[in-house]
Amino acid sequence: MEEDVEELLAGAGEDVGVADDDNVEDFDIDAELERAEPSPGEDGSPSQEEEKPQKKVPWSLYKKSLSRVGRGVVTGFDVTSPEELSKREARLSRWEPEKLAAAKRDEEEAEKRAKRLARFGVAGAEGGVAWARFSATLAALQLEASQLYGVDEGRETAAAETSERLHARVLPVDRGSFKKLRSADLLAHFGRYSPTYVEWLGDEACNVWFAEQHTAGRAMAALTVEIPPAPASLGLQQQQQVDLSAWRLLSSPVRKARDDKWGKKGAYGTRLFVSEYVESLGVLEAPPFTATEIVGGNLNYAWRVEGEKGSVFVKQAPEYIKCLGKDFGLTAQRIAVEVAALREFHRVGFAPEVLHFDKDRCVAIMQDLKSFVLLRDELAAGRVDARLAAKIGAAVSRLPQDTTYDWLPDNNAAMRGIIRDYVFAKPFVDDPTNRSLEPPLGLRAAHLRQDPGFLEALKKARAIFDKRDCLAHGDLHAGSLMTDGETVVAIDAEFAFVGPRGFDLAFATAGYVFAYCASTAWATPDDAALRRRKAKDAISALWTAYGDLQVLPEAVILCACELMRRVLGAASVPDLSEISDPALRNSIDLLVLDLGALLLKHPPSGLPDFLISLDDAYDAHVFATPATPSN
């Protein structure tokens, strides 16, 4: 990747790194003047160039002697006080409930992230929710904890006193990028709070001045995040040598506000805003464009960039798993595989069009499926359409003869290894990534992991997985399929590999089986029965459209492993995980697990037997009664 962003530390109070007033021989006043010119006027436009100070007068002292350029905003009270924060929450609750709901969702996501970090044994997990929230910010800024907590000789202390200025200092890792910034860039970044001017303190620090202290406090509260102590498990030996208690981290990078000889508008370092990046490629007409981040994905970052005449979907793969952070490394070149696979699938009408691929930045720009919805959401709402299932089956059946895979390096070994580990191995042994299960589900899982017949059948499933018949999507669950009601396309193909013919058919089938099994959790009894009938109709249409019935026995075995790993392993599916009643979820999880074990050990030979197996497992689960305790 290119040069990282200019993360800044902001602290109130004492200047850090100010030129020594008694030693000004090395202070380059001409360079500092060039950096600050032209100073903005009240309307944000450049004013006339200011006169230079007398020789040997530090720029920092000279700027203090100037009248304030802008009028600024005077708040008049401390909006960060507990009383004002309480009032703000009350106002949001009354007038902008969506913002309050978004803040609560962010807090819930931080709690979930903390649990994931603890579950996977990630360094820093003992920091709890505070560290989980902050580590997500570090990941978004592409910043390593060691780059923040390490010793910086110019950043030794900062007094936490209230002041009308924010003192900003660049991290050592980004000093080169920081030199590209000018006063206009920083004034624009803090623009909502009407900063009055920027006082430059050499090449590594500056003060951003405001009309009064409370406005500076508002800017700090809104645009920076608190830096928690570094958890001991990170192993940062130097962290205790730097006191960061009075510092905060800018939550987003300062970017160029306009084109100049130091960089393009929107750039940070050598990269661009997503919208400006799309504009530079010419894949959309009629700028300007706006970029909106799409949240929720586990692996990658994604945005929708829109203009007056259309929109595109932008996806970037970091060198790690996004939802877990940088401690969980994952090759960014997975997106190169995804792009090539999507182009193959697009040729058979089963994927969006890839418009541009930037190999260096690991960025793909694709046709925006704005009018499409996830098949998973349709199934969850009870809208099970057998016509769409048939189209999936027909598309998957064309992959063996209508796609190539000679472009696939080492059969996508890194991503294929994840499939093998998390679908066919880890869920069936005692592994720390697995769910912690309560009885009777935990007892059933323990029994299966000791059952010789089950383990022997599992070996057969792994042998099927190792076949190399054709190009497979690799992760064709209901969350990787999108529909507009008439067509269906596959997305998220970074797991593509050369595998068995029935692999994608198996995962697509599993999506309908989850809808079948979870029907009682999401509908009334009558509606649940209708959902189950529709799910069976969809499975029948899927397999009939696929056509090659010889593949079905192996596909059933692979489907069984997908069903069970969603109960036992690290990643569930919303059909199960979003059931709010713990007892009901435990019951449906047990149904899925028992059905998966049945299909693995005794795979049906054809479609009718498979559908009968579904009903038999469901009926046995529903009508089973607990044993009566003996007196």
The residues with which 404 forms a beta bridge, in sequence order, are none
Q: How crowded is residue 234: how many other Cβ atoms within 10 Å of its Cβ?
A: 19
DSSP category for residue 234: G
- Judge whether residue 393 has pLDDT over 90: yes
Mean pLDDT on 30-54:
45
Please determine, for residue 238, whether its predicted confidence score (pLDDT) is greater than 70. Answer: no
Residue 283 makes CB contacts below 8 A (sequence gap 6+) with 312, 355, 356, 365
pLDDT average, residue stretch 526-536: 96
User: Comparing C-alpha atoms, which of 347, 334, 287, 244 is closest to residue 10?
Assistant: 244
Question: What tokens appear for 63 in the block?
Answer: 């700027």
Q: How far is CA 340 from CA 101, 355, 404, 475, in A?
A: 39, 12, 10, 15
Alpha carbon of 336 to those of 302, 341, 362: distances in Å?
15, 9, 7
What residues contact residue 530 under an 8 Å CB cut-off, 6+ apart? 382, 523
Share of the chain above pLDDT 90, in %: 44
pLDDT of residue 402: 95
Residue from 73, 68, 78 nearest 193 by CA? 73
pLDDT for residue 506 is more than 70: yes
pLDDT at 631: 33
| Bond preceding residue 440 cis, omega within 30 of 0 | yes
Taking alpha carbons only, the member of 416, 396, 412, 421 closest to residue 336 is 412
Hey, what's the torsion of the CAs at 263, 268, 273, 276, to 10 degrees? 10
Using DSSP, state whether 224 is helix, strand or coil.
strand
**What's the pLDDT score for residue 47?**
40
The Cα 575–Cα 511 span in angstroms is 9
3-state secondary structure 71-128: CCCCCCCCCCCHHHHHHHHHHHHHHCHHHHHHHHHHHHHHHHHHHHHHHCCCCCHHHH
Return the amino acid letter for 267: A
For 293, the 3-state DSSP assignment is strand
CA distances from 211 to 73, 80, 158, 619 (A): 6, 17, 21, 72
Give me the amino acid identity at 515: A
Q: Which residue has the higher pLDDT, 599 or 32?
A: 599
Please report how the helices 552-568 and 607-623 are oriented relative to each other, as an axis angle in degrees rounded to 10.
Answer: 30
* Rounded Cα gap, residues 474 and 498, in angstroms: 9
Q: Most confidently modeled of 124-133, 327-336, 444-453, 619-628?
A: 444-453
Instruction: Quote the pLDDT of residue 326.
Output: 66
pLDDT at residue 514 in the model = 98
394-438: pLDDT as tens digits: 999 999 999 999 999 899 999 999 999 999 999 999 999 999 998
Residue 447 has pLDDT above 50, yes or no: yes
Res 176: pLDDT? 64
Residue 231: CB atoms within 10 A of its CB come to 21
pLDDT, position 228: 87
- Structure confidence at residue 37 (pLDDT): 47
Helix (H, G, I), strand (E, B) or coil at 555: helix
CA distances to 3, 211, 501 from 228, rounded to whole Å, are 26, 29, 50
Nearest by Cα to 52 from 68, 66, 71? 66
Is the pLDDT confidence value at 544 over 60? yes
Percent of the chain with pLDDT over 70: 77
Query: CA 5, CA 619: separation in Å to the nearest integer?
Result: 58
Rounded Cα gap, residues 163 and 152, in angstroms: 23
pLDDT digits (tens, 9 = 90+) for 178-196: 777 888 888 888 888 888 8
Q: How many Å apart are CA 531 and CA 81, to the nearest integer?
A: 53
pLDDT score, position 590: 96
Question: CA-based diameter of the chain, in Å?
Answer: 101
* Contact yes or no for 514/576 (Cβ under 8 A): yes
579 touches 588 (CB < 8 A): yes
Mean pLDDT value across residues 266-285: 68
Question: How confident is the model at residue 469, as a pLDDT?
Answer: 96
Alpha-carbon distance of 141 to 250, in angstroms, equals: 10
pLDDT value of residue 271: 34
**What is the rounded distance in angstroms from the CA atom of residue 22 to the CA atom of residue 562?**
72
Task: Say how far apart CA 445 and CA 437 lie, in whole Å.
Answer: 8
**What whole-number distance in Å separates Cα of residue 287 and Cα of residue 275?**
9
| pLDDT interval class at 23 (50, 70, 90) | very low
Dist. CA 271–CA 2, nearest whole Å = 7
Task: Evaluate whether 302 touches 280 at the Cβ level (below 8 Å).
Answer: no
Cα–Cα distance, 335 to 321 (Å, whole number): 13
The DSSP letter of residue 497 is E
Count, residues in the chain: 631
Predicted local confidence at residue 4, as pLDDT: 35
**Which two structure tokens, joined as six digits, stand for 533?**
């009938």
Decide: 46 and 69 in contact? Cβ < 8 Å.
no
Q: Is the pLDDT of residue 318 over 60?
A: yes
* Contacts of residue 230, Cβ cutoff 8 Å, sequence gap at least 6: 124, 145, 149, 236, 239
At 289, which amino acid appears?
F
Average pLDDT over residues 385-392: 98
